[in-house]
Each structure stands twice: as C-alpha cells, then as structure tokens.
C-alpha cells in the first residue's frame, strides 16, 4: 500500500472497540483518534497500554547494536593490553573476556 505524502496512519491493536488502521487527521491527538473510533472496550487495562513507534524501535536497536560492538572492542583491547601475563593468566583473562562477550551478546538479543 502506498501512502500519499503528508498522510499519517496509526494501527490500533487490542482492547479498542474498533481496532484497525486509521488515518490521523492534521493536528489530531491520540486521545481524539481513540475517541473518534469508539474508545476502549470495558476489558481495557489502560495502565498496561503500550505506545510504540517503528522509527524509535529501529533507532534503539541501532544504538544497542553499537553499544554491544563498542563493548566487544573494549574487552578485546583490555585482553590484548595484558601481554606480560603467564600463560595461565592469559588463558584466564581470555576466558573472562569470552564470558563477558557471551553475556553481552546474549543479553542484548
């Protein structure tokens, strides 16, 4: 579906009397849009409402990916700067870095 320039659409999901995709009128707030489409159902739990914007989600993911990359580089720099270690200490340091890298990679996903 092609969206004409200047027109904005919102997808309402969940406990709305009429969920769906709606065109937002110029200057219209979310509150007015919800009222225009009939409001909420009696089962709606407003304190659990979630407002998301795709562009914000993408920006957050890019920042998170950059943070993980920066952390990995920091771990690698820390491990490579410890060159005067015994083989056992070097192995322990390498395992520590790998453990930290694994945590940050899996925690970020």
Domain ranges for the chain, please list them: 8-48, 54-108
- pLDDT tens for each residue of 26-85: 888 889 999 999 999 999 988 888 878 878 888 888 998 898 888 877 777 766 665 666
Q: What is the pLDDT of residue 82?
A: 58
CA atoms of 67 and 18, how far apart (whole Å)? 40
Q: Distance between CA 96 and CA 99 in Å, rounded?
A: 5
Structural tokens at position 78: 């820390």
pLDDT greater at residue 48 or residue 6: 48
Residue 102's φ and ψ, nearest 5 degrees, are -60, -40
């Amino acid at each position: 579906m092609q969206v004409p320039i200047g027109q904005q659409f919102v997808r309402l999901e969940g406990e709305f009397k009429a969920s769906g995709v709606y065109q937002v009128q110029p200057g219209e707030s979310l509150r007015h849009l919800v009222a225009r489409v009939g409001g909420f159902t009696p089962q709606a739990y407003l304190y659990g409402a979630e407002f998301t914007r795709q562009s914000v989600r993408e920006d957050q993911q890019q920042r998170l990916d950059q943070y993980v990359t920066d952390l990995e580089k920091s771990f690698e720099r820390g491990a490579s700067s410890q060159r005067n270690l015994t083989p056992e200490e070097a192995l322990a340091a390498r395992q520590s870095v790998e453990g930290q890298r694994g945590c940050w990679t899996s925690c970020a996903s």
